[in-house]
A and B are shown apart, each in its own frame.
Chain A
Amino acid sequence: GEDVEQSLFLSVREGDSSVINCTYTDSSSTYLYWYKQEPGAGLQLLTYIFSNMDMKQDQRLTVLLNKKDKHLSLRIADTQTGDSAIYFCAESDRINTGKLIFGQGTTLQVKP
Chain B
Amino acid sequence: SAVISQKPSRDICQRGTSLTIQCQVDSQVTMMFWYRQQPGQSLTLIATANQGSEATYESGFVIDKFPISRPNLTFSTLTVSNMSPEDSSIYLCSVEGTGENIQYFGAGTRLSVL
Q: Which residues of A contact B (CB under 8 A)?
A: 30-31, 33, 35, 40-45, 48, 88, 92, 94, 97-100, 102-105
Of the stretches B12-20, B40-48, B62-70, B78-86, the one at the interface is: B40-48
- B→A interface (CB under 8 Å): 1, 6, 31, 33, 41-45, 48, 58, 92, 94, 96, 101-108, 110
Work out how many contacts link A and B, with CB atoms closer than 8 A: 52
Decide if A48 touches B33 in the complex (CB within 8 Å): no
Q: A31-B101, A42-B107 are in contact. Are A104 and B48 (CB under 8 A)?
A: no
A42 touches B106 (CB 8 A): yes
Q: If A88-B42, A104-B41 touch, does A43 touch B92 (CB 8 Å cutoff)?
A: yes
List chain A residues, Cβ under 8 A from B44.
102
Cross-chain contact A105 with B42 (CB below 8 angstroms): yes
B33 contact from A41, A42, A99, Cβ within 8 A: A99
